[in-house]
Amino acid sequence: MTELFSQRRGLKPAKCVLQINDIDSDLRSKLWNVLQISLWDSVADDDLYRSANSERFQYLKKLWHLYFKSPLDTLPTSWREAYASLRTYFFSCEWYAVYDFLEFTAKTFPATYAVERFVSGCNKALEQELSGYRFVADQIAPITDKESIATIEQAQSAGALRGVEAHLQQALRLLSDRQQPDYRNSIKESVCAIEAICRAVSKNSKATLGDALKTVGPKVALHPALSGAFDKLYGYTSDADGIRHALLDTPTLEQEDALFMLVSCSAFINYLTAKCARAGIAL
């Protein structure tokens, strides 16, 4: 996604664009297209209504009876009518009803091969459009939550530490790019944000994260186990897929890796900021 002027200039903080309590038009359209390609395209009037025992007719009967809770004698008499009714509903219902509809379809559509293709297509669309949900088997489950988003946004306002804010905003932008997401460098920016705040606390602008943590720990009474955990996390980002070195030929980083690092690093920044305030250390 192209950045707007205010975001490029740092005048407006970047927001977490994961879709948690809404579905934008792009995502809604893509999900409908998955239904179209996976399930609807192979349906014709004769195929649907020639036999009352056809797979798709049985699905529609369950949809009318169990999902819409409508009288079965209102079931359209042609696929064209049924399609128009489903489309109107899909593009006008609440965001959560879209997920209800998709989940019900995955659980009740008779053709297993088609359902597998449908679920796979939905998950691809959900990832591309940064939804906070995914199909797990035949059920839609959250991959993040409001608390995680709040953690990221809070860390972006870490006092006067513009370096920390800049790194986190860049990590979010790289993760959120719907055309070419860059998970590798998003993770790098998340870790750089931790380096920035640790350097500020240690008063050593050239320290690595590992060295800075050795100074930060005693200053704010940071538990050695926690300090060690983030030191190891730094080690992971120095090795995994060459995040801080040359890229390997076949990187395996995914959206969930970058999201985990962004949330984890943001939480640590918020924690360290609070510890500094308690210890009377100005940042």
Residues 147-195 pLDDT 10s: 787 888 788 776 557 788 889 888 888 887 766 788 888 888 998 898 8
User: Which of 113, 88, 118, 117 lies closest to 103 in space, CA to CA?
Assistant: 118
pLDDT (tens digit per residue) in 182-233 = 888 888 899 889 888 988 888 888 887 778 888 888 888 887 887 788 777 7
How much is the mean pLDDT over the chain? 82
Residue 272 and residue 152 share a domain: yes
CA distance 201 to 268: 13
Q: Based on the domain organization, do 121 and 174 belong to the same domain?
A: no
In this structure, is residue 7 part of a structural domain? no
With CA atoms as reference, report the closest residue to 150 among 68, 23, 266. Answer: 266
Both tokens of 218, joined, read: 């005693």
Question: Is 75 within 8 Å of 56 (Cβ atoms)?
Answer: no
Examine the domain organization and report whether 109 and 156 are in the same domain.
Answer: no
Asked whether residue 101 falls in the same domain as residue 166, the answer is no
Distance CA 71, CA 65 (A): 7
Residue 45: the pLDDT is: 55
- The 3-state DSSP class for residue 253 equals coil
Domain shared by 221 and 274, yes or no = yes
**Lowest-confidence range among 52-56, 90-94, 144-148, 158-162?**
158-162
Domain count, the chain: 2
Q: Does 16 fall in a domain? A: no
pLDDT for the residue numbered 283: 73
Identify the H or E element spanning 135: strand 133-136
Query: Is the model's pTM score more than 0.75?
Result: no
**Residue 250 has what pLDDT?**
43
Report the pLDDT value the prediction gives residue 247, as an integer from 0 to 100: 43
Contact between 130 and 22 (Cβ < 8 Å) = no
What distance in Å separates the CA atoms of residue 217 and residue 115, rounded to the nearest whole number? 52
CA angle 171, 174, 178 (to 5 degrees): 145
- At residue 48, does pLDDT exceed 60? no
Is residue 49 within 8 A of residue 57, CB to CB? The reply is: yes
What CATH number did the domain enclosing 152 receive?
A: 1.20.120
pLDDT at residue 249, as a whole number: 43
pLDDT for 105 = 94
Domain that holds residue 212: 147-279
Kind and range of the H or E element at 139? strand 139-142
Residues 126 and 166 in one domain: no
- List pLDDT tens digits, range 14-40: 555 678 889 999 999 999 999 999 888
